[in-house]
Structures are given as structure tokens and as C-alpha cells.
Amino acid sequence: MKQALDAPGQTPPRQAWAGIGGSSLRGALAKVLALDDFEALARKRLPKAIYGYISGAAERNLTRDDNRNAYDGWGFVPRVLRNVAHRSMRTSLFGVDYAAPFGIAPMGIAALSTYQGDIVLAQAAEQANIPFVLSGTSLTRMEDVAKAAPSSWFQAYLPGTPERIDALVSRVAAAGFRTLVVTVDIPVAGNRENIMRAGFSTPLRPGVKLAWDGVSHPRWLLGTFARTLLNGMPHFENSFAERGAPIVSRTVDRDFSQRDHFDWSHIRRIRERWKGDLVIKGIISPEDAVLARSHGADAVVLSNHGGRQLDGAISPLRVLPAVVDAVGNMPVMIDGGVRRGTDVVKALALGAKFVFVGRPFNYAAAVASCPGVAHGISLLKAEIDRDLAMLGVTGLDELSSSHLRRFY
């Protein structure tokens, strides 16, 4: 079993009281006191098109915004005088011990947020001993990420084409990944009009507006895009077994072919070939979670793709208790709208085994590369530690729905 990097025992007093002691950091990170603070800084540093791609969602953003609002509907019922001097947020999943119950969600095109963004995110997670999931729409070869951060997971978008499925699964296994996450909520592309209004498309199509967007952000242009181009035009490296389309193109469209053919029979096929841990991501319905279990999944991630697919889809948090009840002891994970340690704790209290965070860590990478992501991880860990103490619990296994009540 892999051991967590942090030793069990009493939380250092200085860390426990850091929330009122000021920051010892310098530069941009000195003003980042919570994950939300990264977004404003990233918005200034990134071209409008790139920021719009990260922040945008489908149509009226109803689902994206409800992901956040769902957490605000729950209030805590803390217990006092419980002696919480010795507390830990360590947890285990798939036989691996992790330092905290959260990880970094898969995010496509992270290499345009900061130089070698996929590796930045992966290495920061590796150093903190939390999971990182590499996106199938990343611009960095999966083999390079696996070499830089061997404990990373891989997330795949798959067509309903058996030979292409088999080839990609074989490549993922050969690269050394132990956990395969299959995303199932994108049979067709969502109506991401907000992203298009910001000037983003995949692939990026050269034009005066896009060029000015880059020139007006020289730090990003030189520090991220130009450095990336020195290694050649970036491509979508991991959509299939073979290399995909280039990120900048006037004519080549991304290959979404036959994703609407993908069905449960293909999950069974993947299960027969994949020897590692199999996670199905994009589940919202309890019935689908049961189907995932019956087709051989080891776990599910409740997700609506960060609000980027079906606008009006319900928040994962709102269906979490029903899904947990439906699947028994199969691990249920969740993403979408998580910004604070209190969000993580609420999800765990409602039955989630693990929580994944996306956009904030992308912003953190854009602001300060690996140190930015590491700082974000530390902030979230510190919040969870405080929250456990103030709830009157010393470990994650003590959390339950008894610690929550609905505000409304």
C-alpha cells in the first residue's frame, strides 16, 4: 500500500491558527487566501479566449451555478468539547492511502493555461499525495505525464467504435496508468455558446481577434504559448491511440465521431480488457450508478461536466445521498462547484468517498504554475482540517449526515 506523505498525529498549533496569523508568502500568492482568489488573478493573466474556455459552461450557466448553490443549501451541526487535538484527513481508495479526500479533476487543454500545464497539475498532486486525473483532451502525451507523475489517473472520451476503444485502452495500460476514468456524459458536444462568445474554439482558428487576444497578454504569450510552440505545434495527444488534431487550425475539426454510439455494452468490453481500477464519470442518475456497478465499474464520479453539457441538469450533490443508497459499498465520488473545505466536508458527510476540484486548480496553475497549485492544495487541506476540528470530529469516518441540516 502506498503511504501518505503526512504523518498522523496532532496538527501543529501554528497551522491550526494560521487563518488569523497572516501569510508568509510573497508575490501574487500572498493575496490568495482561498481558492476563489485565484480566479480574479487568472482572469487578468489569461487571454479572454482561454479564460472563457475555463470558466464558461453551457447556455445560461444554470447547471454550473447550481453546482455551487447546492452546497450553500446545507448547514452544519457542530459538536463541542470533543477533544479534537489528534485529527487526520487521510483516506484510502483502491488500496492507496492519500493525504486528503480530494483530488484534481480532469481538465482539457490545461497546457494553454500555463506552460506544461498537465505536468504542472500532475506533479503538484503527486507531491501532495492526492490524485490527479489527466484529461483525454490534454495537449501532453499521456506517457510523459505518467513518467512525471506515476500515480496519475487517466480519463478517456470514447467513441462507440470497438477497435478504437481497444487501441486506446491498450495504450493507457502500456503507459502505466492503474486507474481508468471513462467519461460518459458527452454523446454530443454541449451548447457552449459562452465559450464561443469569448473567442474560443477547438481547434483554435487563427484570426485578428485571437491574435490581439494573445498580444494583449504578453506574459501568457511569451511564457506559455511561445514556449509551447518551441516544442512544435501542440496537438490533442490522447483522444485516441494515435495523435489527434493540432490546437491551431483553419480546417481541421476535432473528432467527436460516433460518441453518440457509445453504450453500456462498450463499458462491459472495457471491463474485460482493463485490468486496473475502472471509474465511470458523468453519472447523475441512481439507476445509472447501479448499471455502472453491474457492468464492472469499481467506482463512479457523480458529475454534470461542470455545467458544460446539459444546461439544467441537476447538481451532483443533490443526488448524492440517493446514489450512495442505491450502490451500497461501491465508492461514490463527486465533482462540480467545490470551492471550500466546507464543501468537501459536506459531500463526505452525505456519503461521498472522494471529491474532485477542477477550475480553481486550473486558475492556480495559470497564476503561479506548480507553486500556485501547491498553494491551492495547502489552502484546501487547511480548511478541511479546521472544519473537522470545529465539527468535533477527528477523522473522516466520523462524518455523517447527522452533522448537516438543510438551510431551506
Cα separation, 233 vs 213, in Å, equals: 19
- The reply to whether 203 falls in a domain is no
**pLDDT value, residue 202:** 75
pLDDT digits (tens, 9 = 90+) for 279-318: 999 999 999 999 999 999 999 999 999 999 999 999 999 9
Q: Over 60: is that where the pLDDT of 5 sits?
A: no
Asked if residue 145 is part of any domain, the answer here is yes
Q: Which of 208, 239, 209 lies closest to 137 in space, CA to CA? A: 239
- For the CA atoms of the chain, what is the radius of gyration? 21
- Cβ-contact 70, 317 below 8 angstroms: yes
Average pLDDT over residues 42-67: 96
Task: Tell me whether residue 376 is in a domain.
Answer: yes
Residue 210 lies in a domain: no
Tell me whether residue 335 is annotated as binding.
yes
The answer to whether the annotation marks 145 as part of a ligand binding site is no
The number of C-alpha atoms within 13 Å of 302 and in the hemisphere containing its C-beta is 35
**Annotation says 305 is catalytic:** yes
CATH of the domain at 364: 3.20.20.70
What does the block give as the cell for 274?
482493463
pLDDT of residue 407: 85
Give the integer Cα–Cα distance in Å for 157 and 185.
9
Q: Which three cell numbers stand for residue 190?
A: 454541449
**4 pLDDT higher than 90:** no
By C-alpha distance, which of 367, 379, 381 is closest to 46?
367
Considering 217, 235, 266, 305, which one is annotated as catalytic?
305
Number of domains in the chain: 1
51 is in an annotated binding site: no
In a domain, 200, yes or no: no
**Higher pLDDT among residues 288 and 22, named by residue:** 288
Instruction: Provide the H-helix boundaries in 204-340.
Output: 208-215, 218-220, 227-229, 264-273, 286-294, 316-327
On whether residue 301 sits in a domain, the answer given is: yes
Whether residue 111 has pLDDT greater than 80? yes
Domain residues for the domain of 162 are 28-194+253-406
Q: What is the pTM of this model?
A: 0.94
337 annotated as a binding-site residue: yes
Indicate the pLDDT class of residue 257, thresholds 50, 70 and 90.
low
Task: Write out pLDDT tens, residues 328-343.
Answer: 999 999 999 999 999 9
Residue 20 in any domain: the answer is no
> pLDDT (tens digit, 9 = 90+) per residue, 187-216?
898 998 988 888 888 777 777 788 898 899
Dihedral angle sign, alpha carbons of residues 128, 362, 65, 335: negative
**Average confidence score pLDDT of the chain:** 92
Does 123 appear as a known binding residue?
A: no
In a domain, 88, yes or no: yes
Distance (Å, whole) CA 163 – CA 238? 16
pLDDT at 186 over 60: yes
User: Is residue 155 annotated as involved in ligand binding?
Assistant: yes
Instruction: Give tens-digit pLDDT for 352-386.
Output: 999 999 999 999 999 999 999 999 999 999 999 99
Instruction: Write down the pLDDT at residue 7.
Output: 43
Q: Is the dihedral of CA 315, 318, 323, 328 positive or negative?
A: positive
Tell me if 344 sits within 8 A of 327, measured CB to CB: no
- Residue 336 in marked binding region: yes
The pLDDT confidence band at residue 26, using thresholds 50, 70 and 90, is: confident
Instruction: Give the pLDDT band (50/70/90) at residue 17.
Output: low
Q: Which of 289, 270, 286 is closest to 278 using CA atoms?
A: 270
Is 26 annotated to bind a ligand? Reply is no
* 48 marked among binding-site residues: no
- The pLDDT, as a whole number, for residue 253 is 54
